[in-house]
Structure 1
Amino acid sequence: TFGDARIIEIGTEYFIDLIKKRNIVVVAGFQGCDIKGNITTLGRGGSDTTAVAIASALKADLCEIYTDVDGIYSADPNICEKARKINKISYDEMLNMASLGAKVLQIRSVGFAKKYNVPIHVRSSFTEEEGTMVVNEDAGMESLIVSAVTHDKDQARITLKKVHDQPGVAAKIFSPIAEAGIIVDMIIQNTRAQGQTDLTFTVPKKDFQAAMKIERKVADEIGAVDVLGDKNIAKVSVVGVGMKNHSGVASIMFNTLSRENINIIMISTSEIRISCIIEEKYTELAVRVLHTAFGLDDQD
């Protein structure tokens, strides 16, 4: 769409000509034009994506992103006072953090940087301090099993009760959600007796009512007994490339939450990430205790 355009080409001739003449080139981010000359915008994170795309097209050694913080932190400093600045982080870790609620870089810009191997330096607009380098993974990054703890309160869950456990049912549940442009995050299916199952999934809070309306209609069509919804949830995650070669990360996470009487509602994992859905009221506590449990607290 015009409000969420994708970059297909960057004309560099004009840039290069100006740079050769020792000009400082200032380019407005977030915007471009289609093949017919119509103005388009790049959507959320478009300015960062513009910077990374231009750096890639010009084969620059580095893309510096100046922002209101001095780098990427091991947790949100607003809720975890012992969060520390990360000096170096991999593209994959940053992609996971961006998708899991970290706000410093948008996922599109990081994906672009990874695809074209553009190192990003995230630093403050207000100080001369070094920030955080986002680069390809290297062996030195595995010194920490977990690099960061993230949280995302923009979560809601929907459960279809006693769905018939047979081929094609999942497609009937999720196809209309996709057609409505609603992004589904986590999905869990629990097998029950008599060939029936409960199916639970999460969506952004803003899409909760629309998704509930869709699924109530779907439930009638597929014979589900009920549709339940809950907006009072949040997702907490631990991220780190060091998890690839270490066991016990899930055990530490689950035991840490258990000691604080925080119930885990849903779980999702990947090679370098574990995410848990919990009650929203425990978000800040969960972030702080997990940050401590994985040895991330700033000792200064």
Structure 2
Amino acid sequence: MPLLVMKFGGTSVADLDRIANAAGKVAREVERGYDVIVIVSAMAGKTNELVRWVESTSPFFDAREYDAVVASGENVTAGLMALRLQELGVPARSWQGWQVPILTTSAHSAARFVDIPRDNIDAKFAEGMRVAVVAGFQGLSPENRITTLGRGGSDTTAVAFAAAFGAERCDIYTDVDGIYTTDPRITSKARKLTRISFEEMLELASLGAKVLQTRSVELAMRYKVRLRVLSSFDDTDETSGTLVCDEEEIMESKVVSGVAHSRDEAKITLFTIEDRPGIAASIFGALAEAGVNVDMIVQNISEKDYDDEHPGAVTDMTFSCPVDQVPRARKALEAALERNLIKYDELIIDTEVAKVSIVGIGMRSQAGVAARMFEALAAEGINIKVIATSEIKISVMIDRKYMELAVQTLHDAFELEKAG
């Protein structure tokens, strides 16, 4: 029989009524002739509660035991979902990660997939099982210990199963009814997209759109897994939600498909550093060792000599990072200065900035997109501090107080209310 993967997030299985609602959606797909693999998250709030229990019990916890505790939330949901499906007359059973087995690396709390052997689940399908309810977010290390996959682990689990089992599609059920041109909370003109390419979705996810996790989209793009994002709380059919698919499945691409934003950004500038080979490696190597996620980078050149002993050009280096990583970045740069790995006159940190981006595969063949974006922002008196581009993305850093205005302005400038 054809196979579907259906994933239900924490809000979709937050209580017994919502589990029953989700089970009804699964049962309808079985009635349509599908075998189904269901991936479930823990009930909303349960994972955070389990994490608090671990931290309260052992501040310097063993990561292996942390995973054993935190993974239990998905096990509860999987069992309850299987029971509910059985009550509906659907042959179903639950699977924990080790029973599949979902084979992962040994990096506890941040494990990555190694393999998902099909034999055990395929054997049960052959015996008449119609639904395999699999606990998401977890796997089994080479040492036979439970692992967890980090943030977005259940989304990634769903895509990995769809790839491993050759599913017709992977449906991600959540509390929104699809992918929008921008955050509807910022502008009422935001419109739901019918389709969006993997590349566009990956950019939007990495730039702050929180509907899908970046890792899951990366995996879907790699294995050409068609994703559909839709609401758990609406009546749905095969045309519901937004399909994330290969660019070839999209008949006509708009120049810009969406506007993304990230509020919690910081801008860090190092003034008057030597402009010599290896200086960037020294700066960003120190930041990488400290676990700082650097995004936008700008370097300016000056002809001024560094000092009498070091004649030659100097440069200023500006980069962005998440605002909660600023203390880590400051400490890493000051330590590099003390060890004479780098020299700089001044370190300036601005924590009142935001990033706004436009994304669209149509940019590849359309000239003047950047000019149109910058002119629209200028017309509203919004100053651009940093610019970064890729083939299908333009990002700007601006004062945070103008973020919502910038999103609304760009949404209007590119007429995204006409999206469909």
Q: CA deviation at 1:22?
A: 3.3
Q: Give the corresponding residue for 2:116.
A: 10
Q: Give the corresponding residue for 2:175.
A: 68
Q: CA deviation at 1:19?
A: 2.0
Q: CA deviation at 1:155?
A: 1.0
Counterpart Cα distance in 1 of 2:111 and 2:202 = 20
**In structure 1, which of residues 169, 188, 213 is the aligned counterpart of residue 298 of structure 2?**
188
Contact kept? 2:195, 2:250, Cα under 8 Å: no
Contact kept? 1:160, 1:219, Cα under 8 Å: no
Gaps of 5+ in 1: none
Q: CA deviation at 1:87?
A: 0.4
1:137 and 2:247 are equivalent in the alignment = yes
**In structure 1, which of residues 228, 248, 258 is the aligned counterpart of residue 368 of structure 2?**
248
Q: CA deviation at 1:214?
A: 1.6
Q: Give the corresponding residue for 1:58.
A: 165
Q: Give the corresponding residue for 2:186.
A: 79
Give runs of aligned pairs for residues 114-133 of structure 1, distance below 5 A.
114-129=221-236, 130-133=240-243
Q: Give the corresponding residue for 1:208.
A: 326
Contact kept? 2:181, 2:419, Cα under 8 Å: no
What secondary structure, in the 3-state scheme, does the structure 2 residue paired with 1:72 have? coil
**TM-score (normalizing by structure 2):** 0.70
Counterpart Cα distance in 2 of 1:112 and 1:295 = 31
Return 19-28 or 271-280, whichever deviates more: 19-28
1 or 2 for the larger relative contact order (CA 8 Å, sep ≥6)? 1
Q: Give the corresponding residue for 2:412.
A: 292
Counterpart Cα distance in 2 of 1:139 and 1:260 = 37
Counterpart Cα distance in 2 of 1:299 and 1:246 = 17
Q: CA deviation at 1:23?
A: 2.8
Q: For the aligned residues, what is the CA RMSD?
A: 1.4
Q: Give the corresponding residue for 1:234.
A: 354
Deviation digits for residues 109-131 of structure 1 (CA, Å, limit 9, x no counterpart): 00111111110011000112400
Contact kept? 1:93, 1:272, Cα under 8 Å: yes
1:34 and 2:136 are equivalent in the alignment = no
Deviation digits for residues 222-259 of structure 1 (CA, Å, limit 9, x no counterpart): 22111110111110000000000000100010000001
Contact kept? 2:196, 2:250, Cα under 8 Å: no
Q: Write out the 4+ residue segments of structure 1 that deviate beyond 6 Å after TM superposition.
A: none
Q: CA deviation at 1:180?
A: 1.2
Counterpart Cα distance in 2 of 1:264 and 1:78 = 23
Gaps of 5+ in 2: 1-106, 305-312
Counterpart Cα distance in 2 of 1:119 and 1:140 = 12
AA matched with 2:255: I
Q: CA deviation at 1:17?
A: 1.6
Q: CA deviation at 1:204?
A: 1.0
AA matched with 2:214: I
Contact kept? 1:141, 1:242, Cα under 8 Å: no
**TM-score (normalizing by structure 1):** 0.97
**In structure 1, which of residues 202, 208, 223 is the aligned counterpart of residue 343 of structure 2?**
223
Q: 1:34 to 1:283 in 2, by over 3 A?
A: same
Q: CA deviation at 1:148?
A: 0.2
Which has the larger helix fraction? Answer: 2
Deviation digits for residues 36-57 of structure 1 (CA, Å, limit 9, x no counterpart): 1111101011000001101111
Deviation digits for residues 57-104 of structure 1 (CA, Å, limit 9, x no counterpart): 111110000000000000001111110000000000000000000000
Counterpart Cα distance in 2 of 1:299 and 1:13 = 43
**In structure 1, which of residues 279, 282, 289 is the aligned counterpart of residue 399 of structure 2?**
279
Total equivalences in the alignment: 300
**What fraction of aligned residue pairs are identical, expressed as a percent?**
49
Contact kept? 1:121, 1:131, Cα under 8 Å: yes
